[in-house]
């Protein structure tokens, strides 16, 4: 599963993790009915947590800097071609 979802109740500080948004929404609805008598607390929310695996931060940094990476690769290709032309006429 690439993402986990966390349901947090702002009133009673209940926290539960779920494999899908639908499961989190179901828990949220059941919790509101059972504990808060159908009234939704003010800070009630479902958050999406990114996957945690080695290198995830590096991968997201590369993806976020895609325009800068594209420019750097294009510049490296042009300079490399110029150096190749100079060395091997």
How much is the mean pLDDT over the chain?
84
Q: How far apart are CA 30 and CA 33, in angstroms?
A: 5
Residue 15, φ and ψ in degrees, nearest 5 = -130, 130
Rounded mean pLDDT, 29-56: 87
Helix (H, G, I), strand (E, B) or coil at 41: coil
**Above 60 in pLDDT, residue 72?**
yes
- Taking the C-alpha atoms of residue 20 and residue 67, their distance in angstroms, rounded to an integer, is 32
pLDDT at 8: 94
* pTM over the 0.85 mark: no
| DSSP assigned state of 8 | E
- The reported pLDDT for the residue numbered 35 is 94
pLDDT of residue 50: 78
Residue 68 above 60 pLDDT?
yes
Could you tell me which residues come within 8 angstroms of residue 16 by beta carbon, excluding any fewer than 6 positions away?
6, 7, 24, 27
């Amino acid at each position: 599963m690439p993402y986990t979802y966390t349901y947090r109740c702002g009133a009673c500080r209940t926290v539960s993790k779920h494999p899908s948004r639908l499961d989190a929404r179901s828990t949220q609805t059941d919790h509101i009915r059972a504990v808060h008598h159908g009234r939704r607390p003010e800070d009630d929310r479902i958050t999406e947590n990114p996957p945690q695996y080695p290198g995830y931060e590096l991968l997201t940094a590369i993806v976020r800097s895609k325009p800068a990476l594209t420019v750097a690769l294009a510049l490296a290709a042009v300079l490399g071609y110029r150096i190749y032309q100079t060395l091997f006429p």
